[in-house]
Amino acid sequence: MLQDSSIQKSLDQYIKRRIQEIPSEIKQTFPNVKKIWKCDNELDFLYGYYVGKIEEGSLRYLLKATRASAGGFIDTFEIRGIIEMQKEELQQAIKEGLLVK
């Protein structure tokens, strides 16, 4: 999928920027995750939520960057793999957002 190293690098930078925005997003968007969403584990809930949001944004970003159609060119599992490589940073950003309250 990502044979072009400049696109790969650009996607990595996009994902890192999104992760940096998470603590402030959590403070604004999820003031009380346990009460509103009725979840037992805030970290797991928000991790799944943000993986999905970043994956969706990455797909849109790649479609714009490559001017391609979604038909077979972009593998969402590869995007998920790239996001999962940043797992620790993503979890840390979520923890920071939960503490900022």
DSSP per residue, 14-73: HHHHHHHHHHHHHHHH-TTHHHHH--S-HHHHHHHHHHHHHHHHHHHHHHHHHT--SSSS
Give the per-residue pLDDT at 31.
67
Q: Are 79 and 59 in contact (CB under 8 A)?
A: yes
- Mean pLDDT of the residues in the chain: 81
Is the confidence at residue 71, as pLDDT, over 70?
no
pLDDT in tens, 14-50: 999 999 999 999 888 776 766 666 677 888 889 999 9
If you compute the radius of gyration of the chain from its CA atoms, what whole number of angstroms results? 15
CB neighbourhood size of 50 (10 A) = 22
pLDDT in tens, 39-49: 778 888 899 99
Instruction: Please report, rounded to a whole number, the percentage of residues in the chain having pLDDT higher than 70.
Output: 78
